[in-house]
Homo-oligomer: A and B are copies of this chain.
Amino acid sequence: MEKIFNKKIKEIMTKDIIYSSPDEGVIKAFEILLKHKISCLPIVDADKKIMGIITTTDIGYNLIIDKYTIDTKVSDVMTKKVISVNPENTILDAINKMDEFGYSKEIINQLPVVEEDNKLVGIISDGDIIRVLSKSLKK
B34, B109, B134, B135: the one within 8 Å of A61 (CB): B34
Q: Is A130 an interface residue (CB 8 A)?
A: yes
Whether B95 pairs with A137 at a CB distance below 8 angstroms is yes
- A130: B residues at CB distance < 8 A: 95, 98-99, 107, 126, 129-130
Main secondary structure of the interface of A (DSSP, over half): helix
Chain B residue with Cβ nearest A31 = B64
Whether B139 pairs with A96 at a CB distance below 8 angstroms is yes
Q: Smallest Cβ distance from A34 to chain B, in angstroms?
A: 4
Task: Kindly report how many copies of this chain are found in the complex they form together.
Answer: 2
- A98: B residues at CB distance < 8 A: 127, 130-131, 134
Whether A138 pairs with B96 at a CB distance below 8 angstroms is yes
With A129-B130, A130-B99 known as contacts, the answer to whether A34 contacts B5 (CB < 8 A) is: no
Question: 15 A-B residue contacts at CB 8 Å?
Answer: A1-B1, A31-B61, A34-B60, A34-B63, A37-B60, A39-B57, A92-B137, A96-B137, A98-B127, A102-B131, A107-B131, A109-B109, A109-B126, A126-B129, A129-B130
A residues touching B (Cβ–Cβ < 8 Å)?
A: 1-2, 5, 30-31, 33-35, 37, 39, 56-57, 60-61, 63-64, 92, 95-96, 98-100, 102, 106-107, 109, 126-127, 129-131, 133-135, 137-139
